[in-house]
Amino acid sequence: MPISVDPAVPNRAPLPDDDPGSPGDPVITMFRRVCVFIPSVMVAISACILALRHLHPAGLAWALDNSYFSNNISILRDIRHLAGDDSWTPMLAVRDWLQRHPGGDAYDYFFFDMGTKFQYPLSSLLAIQWLPLQGRDAVHALNLLNLAAWFSIFPGMALLNLRLARMFAVRTAAPGPSARTVWIGAASLLTTLCFYPLIRGVYLGQIQVLLDALFVFACYFYASRRSGLAGVLLGLSALVKPQMALFLLWGLLRRDRAFVTGLAACAGAGYVASGLLYGWSWPQSYLRVLSFIGRHGESFYANQSMNGLVNRLLGNGTNLIWEYHRFAPYDGVTYALTLLSTGLLLAGGLWSARTAVTPRAATASLMVAGLCFTAASPVAWEHHYGILLPIFSLLFFSLLEIPDASDRRRRWLLLGATFVTVANVLSPLNLLATTRFNILQSYEFFAVLGVLLLVFLSRRDLGWSVGHRHAPHPQAFPGLTDVSWR
């Protein structure tokens, strides 16, 4: 059913000792810890990697040095150059070629003949079609746009976190901004600035950063009962990242008319515009590209998917150096396991749509579906997991309510371990590339599975419980009241 008609959980008056902003406020204490923990761990991990670099024998090629010893701090330092063109160069090249060859098959020319890894649908070119710049000027302008998208994620996460705080009944404001609101905002800023998939995306010049911003705001609008706007934003994402179109099926399973209408209208308008500009037959050629990628995949360590894990484990393709014009060789075992994992992840993402009958569960289902649709792809780069940021916030708020101390401690440890693993590049693990332990290079993929496990363990607290009503446990954390859907 649509989230707007989900049954609300009865409210209860705040506990007598509920005093947001008091010195002993446990919510403020938790957010203070977050604000110290996140940057401290990032600096500590980066310092350890730099120390290891000085201990390692010199004489490495630049590509290997970057593979073994990159870290969040060094990447943040290099962002200032705004030189990354990972998405922009192939997109601009295809745009310019189509202007000279109207109706031409860009995928035949670039992907199959030249070996250029242009893997986006032509509808993605609508984002740059009317950009009146060429070459490095265009790349610089698009990287400035990327930087703005990254900075926009901070207010998006702050709004989402405040909405989640209300959903989990963490009171944040009296009439004006409270101390809790300030600390939630500070935590939102630090997680945005210190989150490796976002840092990596900005550094590379990746359009994925724009998609991450759209996903954060889609989560906010959906949690705010404005599912139509959430659908529109995910429809825009689907014009660049086709697996986001699976949200159309997700919305149909939820019978959310506003969500489905917004997504279908936006994606449909984009397809019509791309057909008028580039011809109507390009989706057929693009399906050939997707089929080829699905049968081969990438063995490069940054591919954090089942396909990348198995390719590396079998030594099928290059591990440490990305090949611009070549994919991993076809391997039957890799292909079969890729299909199996894809099917399981897609089923998990869609299954949650029908079983989410409370507002909390509906919001969690949207986030879980986005994660599953991303991880199900044969090629899921490190920077694709910027969409994990909202679900980390959701799990954080859900853990505030757990009454059992030992259970709460175990889940805090799992949440902290998965966040640290995703939020920081652990590049020295690439030293294991030629050993039987290279499975550890897939640490980010394992963290994704850990997040899904934590969602499962937290299913009662997220509203996936027997029946249509979920009773939280306010005694688990002083200062919290019952959940309400405001």
pLDDT at 14: 40
Work out whether the CA dihedral 319, 200, 368, 373 comes out positive or negative: negative
Span 262-274, average pLDDT: 96
Q: How far apart are the first and last CA of the chain?
A: 18
User: Helices (DSSP H) in 314-358: which residue ranges?
Assistant: 332-355
Q: Assess whether pLDDT exceeds 50 at residue 282.
A: yes
Virtual CA dihedral for 58, 62, 64, 65, nearest 10 degrees? 50
Residues 6 or more apart whose Cβ sits within 8 Å of residue 133: 141
Max CA distance (Å), the chain: 72
| 10, two tokens | 């009865």
pLDDT, one tens digit per residue, over 145-175 is 999 999 999 999 999 999 999 888 776 544 4
pLDDT, one tens digit per residue, over 296-345 is 999 999 999 999 999 999 999 999 988 888 999 999 999 999 999 999 99
Please answer whether residues 205 and 150 qualify as being in contact, where contact means their C-beta atoms are separated by less than 8 angstroms. no
From 476, 467, 345, select the one nearest 398 (Cα to Cα): 476
Q: How many beta carbons lie within 10 A of that of residue 328, not counting itself?
A: 26
From 245, 200, 170, select the one nearest 482 (Cα to Cα): 170
State the DSSP code for 396.
H
Cα–chain-centroid distance for residue 396?
16
0.95 surpassed by pTM: no
| 70, two tokens | 């990159």
Domain coordinates of the chain in residue numbers?
3-476
Span 186-198, average pLDDT: 97
Angle, CA of 207, 212 and 218, to the nearest 5°: 130
Q: Specify the residue for token string 């070119």.
A: 125
Q: Assess whether pLDDT exceeds 90 at residue 140.
A: yes
Virtual CA dihedral for 317, 323, 327, 329, nearest 10 degrees? -30
